Amino acid sequence: MTGTAWREIILRSAPLLALVVLIVAITLLAGLADAVTVRRVILSLVNVVAVVGLYIFMGNSGVLNFSSVGFMAIGAYVAALLTMPANAKGMFLPDLPGWLMVAELPALAGPFIGGAVSSILALVVGLPIMRLSGIAAAIATFSLMFICYIVLGNWTSLTGGQISLMGLKSYVGLWTACAFAVGAIGVAFAYQETRWALALRASREDAVAASACGLRVAALRLGAFVLSAFVCGVGGALYGHFQGTLRVESFYLDPTFLLVTMLVVGGMRSLTGAVIGCLSISLLTELLRLVEVGVPVPGTTFTVAAAAGFGDVVLAALMLLILIFRPNGITGGREVLGNLARTWGRK
């Protein structure tokens, strides 16, 4: 390859490199912090995986998707059931089929198999649903999330139903979470550089014109949906193994809205927007939590503390303000450093 070609590739990858540096820097910094902060950072990194998974479909296709939390739940339960020790399963889920009862795969196989099962289900349900656009698509994916929630919450023999599933192997530490976050960002970036993603973004701007150009919009969307479900499934598995316990309630309305809001606040149409949205809302949440716990005023013995629940109010208000003043998100839907290739690459 010639020098200019390499230069082009490096410049095009600038957003990816910037994001990886950001994630690694956060991880390094968190390594110096106390145990509570470390846990919050791990959770943020797991959320990065989930929001990036959501972005892969929503960002490239422009179609609203509320089902990602459902795929996270599937990934989480699959990973848990396949890796939990048999005796723990025997305690919580005495009615499991025999083969599943004895299955005890290595922990790290969990996220990948969980993601794979999610993506297979996404392929099956996406086949018809990907023909829908706009509000119909939003409601159909919303319905999917509901169906996941209701089925998992009532399939007592398999999931324990409304009771929590405990005793998941806890292996999701700071660097594991970092590695998966970087991996998810890498997958999303690699995907958006493909010609399928380019075609999908063309259909986002004008679906009719794209179809007229011979693009098979439903098939393109399906591809992104399946990949998105895989990454979300991985995110769900990490979430479960980070918490150590699983409840279906963790995969219902609140996280659905939170993840979509993170994406939209950051800027739904760019990967940097997805990551920045997720990290900035995580940071805000953390700061507001500190305010609720109490902040000592320097030089005095006073601490300033807000009443419990106040942080949630401020967080919701801030998210609304961001949307009102930056309707296209913090990044405005552009890749940060994405102009490098265009401005310098031509020389």
Partner 1 sequence: MNALVQIVVDALSLGGLYALTALGIGLIFSVMRLANFAHAELVTCAAYALFALSAHPLVMAVAGSVLVAVALAVVTERLAFRTLRSADPTTMMIASFTVSMLIQKILVFSIGSRPKSLDPVPVLSQAVWIGGAQVSLLKLVTIAVCAVLLLALTIFLRRTSFGLQMRAAAENFTMARLTGVRANAVIVAAFALSGVLAAVVALLFTAQSGFVQPRLGVPLMITAFVATVIGGMGSLTGAAIGGLLVGVVTTLLQAFLPPDLRPFREAFLFALVILALLVKPNGLFPARGLKERI
Tell me: does residue 147 bind partner 1 (CB under 8 A). yes
Tell me: does residue 1 bind partner 1 (CB under 8 A). no
Tell me: does residue 291 bind partner 1 (CB under 8 A). no
Residues 21-40 vs partner 1: string with x where CB under 8 A? --------------------
Tell me the β-bridge partners of 245. Answer: 166
| Sole window of 19-27, 31-39, 131-139, 179-187 interacting with partner 1 (rule: CB under 8 A) | 131-139
Q: How far apart are CA 162 and CA 246, in angstroms?
A: 10
Of the candidate residues 264, 271, 278, 281, the single one contacting partner 1 (CB under 8 A): 264
Judged by beta carbon, residue 193 or residue 312, the one nearer partner 1 is 312
Tell me: does residue 332 bind partner 1 (CB under 8 A). no
Query: Least distance (Å) from partner 1 to the CB of residue 123?
Result: 16
Q: Cα–Cα distances in Å, from 249 out to 45, 125, 146, 177, 309?
A: 21, 22, 11, 22, 20
Of the candidate residues 24, 138, 291, 305, the single one contacting partner 1 (CB under 8 A): 138
CB-based burial label for 132 (10 Å; 0-12, 13-18, 19+): middle
Tell me: does residue 320 bind partner 1 (CB under 8 A). yes
Query: Least distance (Å) from partner 1 to the CB of residue 259?
Result: 11
Judged by beta carbon, residue 136 or residue 198, the one nearer partner 1 is 136
| Residue 197 three-state SS | helix
- HEC-encoded secondary structure of 136-166: HHHHHHHHHHHHHHHHHHHCHHHHCCCCCEE
| 118 in Cβ contact with 79 (< 8 Å) | no
Judged by beta carbon, residue 7 or residue 131, the one nearer partner 1 is 131
Of the candidate residues 38, 101, 323, 340, the single one contacting partner 1 (CB under 8 A): 323
Tell me: does residue 268 bind partner 1 (CB under 8 A). yes
| Residue 234 three-state SS | helix
Tell me: does residue 136 bind partner 1 (CB under 8 A). yes
Of the candidate residues 16, 129, 200, 274, the single one contacting partner 1 (CB under 8 A): 129
Of the candidate residues 131, 201, 289, 334, the single one contacting partner 1 (CB under 8 A): 131
Tell me: does residue 238 bind partner 1 (CB under 8 A). no
Q: How far apart are CA 127 and CA 130, in angstroms?
A: 6
Torsions phi, psi for 165 (to 5 deg)? -95, 120
130: tokens are 């990907």
Judged by beta carbon, residue 172 or residue 265, the one nearer partner 1 is 265
Q: b/e map of 167-191 (b: 16 or more CB within 10 Å)?
A: bbbeebebebbbebbbebbebbbeb
Tell me: does residue 260 bind partner 1 (CB under 8 A). yes
Query: Least distance (Å) from partner 1 to the CB of residue 286?
Result: 17
| Sole window of 183-191, 242-250, 253-261, 270-278 interacting with partner 1 (rule: CB under 8 A) | 253-261
Half-sphere exposure of 59 (CA within 13 A, CB side): 36
DSSP 251: G
116, 104, 243: which is closest to 171 by C-alpha? 243
Q: Cα–Cα distances in Å, from 73 out to 6, 140, 145, 265?
A: 41, 18, 9, 24
Query: Least distance (Å) from partner 1 to the CB of residue 249?
Result: 13
| Sole window of 4-12, 126-134, 190-198, 215-223 interacting with partner 1 (rule: CB under 8 A) | 126-134
Q: Please, what is the angle between helix 35-61 and helix 195-205, to 10°? A: 70
**Which residues form the interface with partner 1 (CB under 8 A)?**
62, 64, 128-129, 131-136, 138-140, 142-144, 146-147, 150-151, 154, 253, 257, 260-261, 264, 268, 307-310, 312-313, 315-317, 319-320, 323-324, 327-328
